[in-house]
Structures are given as structure tokens and as C-alpha cells.
Amino acid sequence: MKTLKSLLNFFKPEMAVDLGTSTTLIYVKGKGIVLREPSVIALDSRTHKVVAVGREAKKMLGKTHEGLIAKRPIRDGVIHNLEYVQYMLLEYKKRAIKNFIANPTMIVAVPSGANDVERKAAIDAAKSIGAGQVYLIEEPVASAIGIGLDVFDSKGHMIVDIGGGTSEIALVSLGGVVYKYPIRTAGDEMDEAIADYIRKTFNIAIDENVAEKIKIEIGDVYGENKMEMEIIGWDLYTRKPAKIMLTSDHIKEALNGVVSELVNAIRKVLDNAPPALVQDVLEEGIYLTGGGSTIRGLDKRLEEETGIKFMRAENPYESVVRGAGRVLEELDNRNSQYHKLLHYTKRP
């Protein structure tokens, strides 16, 4: 016969949330990842009633009229518009968990470089949708756990987590981030670089969705794959429709600046980290994860530029939420070391 505590635990869900610039993922204790949707919301501009969230809302980006707002409320990995994030997160909570009595417990992943105001915004967003207990975990630590690394080991592990709005370059050891260098160079900047290159080279204007599609279909920053893709756009010079044939070499050229920024950030971490931990990295290599890391040839290009081995994560889009979920599963275990990784907030 179940005890009252067991019944309450059944109706009181525990969730881990990765509020990413591009994508929001939710992990529910005992179930795993139950939601993965774009971090986009569409609202009626007059009533502020939610019209769509996620995939449907993403289709509306750049196409709305004055009565409709379609926005990405998270920028550079942190909450930019708290009200919109609250609306979006409430809808996602409804999809992720249906029947519960008590307020859910939530672990929210935040960038390592988030300041106090940005961390408070994450807490406020979680509490606004009914969370009774909120914990924060730094994304590089969650990523390392999600990859399968022992973050409590004395050995240093270097993580390069390339998200939508930010890239987290961090050295993790003994249950914490020893040195970090977050930069606002990530998947979105890749899309912007591609759009900017096409505008300057071909006089064709494209939106972020088309740039992202180009990146996914023919993007290669190392040059092994030779692919082509035809696009149709508006020629800003002739003021007529124009067709152009893009190649993977074009995209490699377009992304040279982005790759250089990543390389410089990696070198900065290695320049400033303790020599003993740098030695660990040189022997073990660097772990590459995050949705922005999936572009072809990035691991080989970074290896070539730095002289260090790079290893791709098996589930790069999910490493943060999987790591936060692993910690979530251990919340009730008072002997677990994972509690040391969490920033605790008291109930209101």
C-alpha cells in the first residue's frame, strides 16, 4: 500500500528545463525528455492572448501583421522578455505534465555567464507557472553530466557547448566550473553570417529561416563535402527575382569568422586555466556539444586550428537537459553529490 508521501510524489511532478535561445526542452522525472519545441511564441498584439507556441509560432517569424506578434523571448541564452517566456513556459508545462496536485519542483539550466538579474528572471519564470521549488544548474556542468562525464573527478574536462544564442566554453573539475568563457557566437550568428554573406556576394536578401535551412542542408566548415543548393530570392540591385546556386564552399567562407571566434575563445580558456587541468585536456581532448555543433566538419576544423582532439556528443541537442535530468533523478537521494551542483531557492 502506497504511503501518503508516495502518493504526493506521484502527483507532484519534478521537471528539468533547458530554456534555450532556439529550443526549449523539458525532462520529467521517471519519463525522460517529454518536450522539445522552438523557443518561439506568437500573441495577439491587442489582447496578448497566445496564438501559437513552438513549431507553429516559428513559422510566423518575419511574416506577422500589426495585429500579431511572433517573437523569440530568449536571447543569448537568457530571458529577454519575461512575460512572453511565462506564457510560453506555461503552455509547455501543460503539454509536459497533465495531472498533478502539488506545485512541481523544477531544475532550470542557465548559462555560466548569467548575472544575478538573469538568474532571477529564470527563477521568476519557473515560479510564475506554479513551481514550488526552483533550482538552477549551470549549463556547462549539466552538459558534462549529459555527455556522461564524471564532473566530481579531479580530472579536468573541457566542454564547448554551442547553443543557439551563446557558446559555453568551460573547464569542469571537482564538481564545478574552474574557468569559463561564454561568448555570444553560436548557431544564430552562423545563420546571420550566412545571410550577410549572400546579401554582400549575390545581392540577395534572405531571412533567418532560409539561412538556417542552408546551414543544415549544405553547411560544411571543413570542406570535405561538396554540396549545392539552389535558392530563389529578391535581387536588391536589379529589383527582380533571382536564382543562385550556393555551394558548401560558399558556406565555409561565410562561417570563417564564426569559427575564428570559437577558436579564440577556446585558446583563451586554455591560456588562463591551471596548467594541470590544461594537461588533462591535452591528453583527453575537448567535448563538442550543443545544437550549433552539428554543422558538418566543425570538429575537424577545430582540431586543425587548435591541434587538440575534439569529440562530438552523441545527443548534442539534448546534453544540457539530459544532464539536468540526471541530477533531477537524484534529488531525493540526500547522499548524492549532485546536490552540490544546484543553486537553491527557497519557497516564497
The CATH number of residue 73's host domain is 3.30.420.40
pLDDT of residue 344: 66
The whole-angstrom separation of Cα 248 and Cα 224 is 9
Q: Does the residue 248 lie in any domain?
A: no
Confidence bin at 1 (pLDDT 50/70/90)? very low
**Residue-level pLDDT at 10:** 56
Is the pLDDT assigned to residue 346 strictly greater than 60? no
The strand pair at 68-71 and 74-75 is best described as unpaired
Does residue 106 belong to any structural domain of this protein?
Answer: yes
Strand partners, 108: 17, 136
Between CA 69 and CA 166 the distance in angstroms is 24
Q: Which residue's entry shows cell 491587442?
A: 46
User: Residue 40 in 3-state DSSP?
Assistant: coil
Residues 11, 15: Cα–Cα separation, whole Å: 13
Backbone angles phi, psi at 5, to 5 degrees: -60, -40
How would you label 32-45 residue by residue, b for 16+ Cβ within 10 Å and e otherwise?
ebebbbbbbbbbee
Can you name the residues that pair with 70 across neighbouring β-strands?
42
- The alpha helices in 81-225, defined as continuous H runs, are 82-96, 116-128, 139-147, 187-202, 208-218
AA identity, residue 295: I
Name residue, grid cell 544546484: 342
Enumerate the β-bridge partners of residue 183. Answer: 167
Contact between 179 and 273 under an 8 Å Cβ cutoff? The reply is yes
69 CB contacts (<8 Å, ≥6 apart)?
42, 43, 44, 45
Tally of structural domains, the chain: 1
Tell whether pTM > 0.85: yes
Segment among 57-66, 96-105, 224-233 with least mean pLDDT: 96-105
C-alpha cell at 62: 518575419
Count of other CB atoms within 10 angstroms of residue 167: 27
Q: Is residue 98 assigned to a domain? A: yes
Identify whether 48 is part of a domain: yes
Residue 42, φ and ψ in degrees, nearest 5: -125, 130
Closest Cα to residue 137, out of 178, 108, 113, 115? 108
Is a pLDDT exceeding 90 seen at residue 100?
A: no
Residues 6+ apart with CB under 8 A from 185: 166, 167, 258, 261, 262, 265
Is 173 inside any structural domain?
Answer: no
Residue 67: inside a domain, yes or no? yes
Among 9-13, 127-131, 161-165, whose mean pLDDT is lowest? 9-13
Look at residue 348 in the predicted model and tell me its pLDDT: 40
73 in any annotated domain: yes
Q: Do the beta carbons of residue 15 and residue 104 sit within 8 Å?
A: yes
What is the CB neighbour count within 10 angstroms for residue 139? 31
**Confidence grade of residue 11 (pLDDT, cut at 50, 70, 90):** low
How far CA 290 is from CA of 163, 190, 348, in Å, comes to 5, 14, 33
Lowest mean pLDDT among 96-100, 160-164, 251-255: 96-100
In a domain, 302, yes or no: no
Beta strands in 248-325 (DSSP E): 286-289, 310-312
Span between the terminal Cα atoms of the chain, in Å: 33
Q: Cβ-count burial of 249 within 10 angstroms (0-12 exposed, 13-18 middle, 19+ buried)? A: middle
pLDDT tens per residue, range 285-344: 999 999 999 999 999 999 999 999 999 999 999 999 999 999 999 988 888 898 889 986
Enclosing domain of residue 128: 4-142+319-345
